[in-house]
């Protein structure tokens, strides 16, 4: 039987493992917030406010997660990303292809990064 030893210096806190996810979601939050200007849909007030507010919240929660040792922020970011992805249909601007694509793609990326962070945190603890 092989003897397996664990170096105590190799074991990191799950928060440290998720750090790149926090930075990535901060960047995605900024991208969401400035997307109305980047993609030219500032004339659509509901879509603009939605992108700016959700983007700011994702950015703020991810920045807060860099200083906290809890993973609750990833769960909220996953929900915010899902809202952003579904909002073109929920807020009735899905018939504008560019706006729909921007919300759907950024929202899906936020969800994917948050879920990966949650999974890695739980998988590491097991």
Instruction: Compute the average pLDDT of residues 10-25.
Output: 68
Instruction: Please write the tens of the pLDDT for every residue from 50-108.
Output: 999 999 999 999 999 888 766 788 999 999 999 999 999 999 999 999 999 999 999 99
pTM to 2 decimals? Answer: 0.83
pLDDT of 5 over the 90 cut: no
Instruction: Compute the average pLDDT of residues 18-27.
Output: 88
Helix/strand/coil for 110? helix
- Which pLDDT does position 6 carry in this prediction? 46
Token pair of 121 as six digits = 């945190």
CA distance 21 to 14: 12
- Which pLDDT does position 19 carry in this prediction? 81
Token pair of 14 as six digits = 């799950």
- Which pLDDT does position 67 carry in this prediction? 83
**Phi, psi for residue 111 in degrees, rounded to 5:** -60, -45
User: What do you get for the CA distance between the two ends of the chain, in Å?
Assistant: 23
Instruction: Please write the tens of the pLDDT for every residue from 25-48.
Output: 999 999 999 999 999 999 999 999
């Amino acid at each position: 039987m092989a003897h397996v030893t664990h170096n105590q210096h190799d074991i990191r806190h799950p928060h440290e493992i998720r750090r790149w996810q926090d930075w990535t979601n901060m960047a995605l939050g900024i991208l969401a917030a400035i997307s109305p200007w980047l993609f030219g849909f500032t004339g659509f007030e509901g879509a603009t406010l939605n992108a700016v507010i959700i983007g700011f919240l994702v950015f703020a929660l991810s920045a807060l997660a860099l200083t906290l040792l809890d993973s609750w922020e990833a769960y909220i970011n996953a929900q915010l990303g899902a809202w952003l992805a579904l909002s073109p249909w929920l807020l009735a601007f899905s018939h504008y292809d560019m706006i729909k694509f921007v919300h759907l793609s950024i929202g899906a990326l936020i969800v994917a990064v948050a879920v990966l962070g949650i999974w890695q945190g739980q998988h590491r603890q097991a």
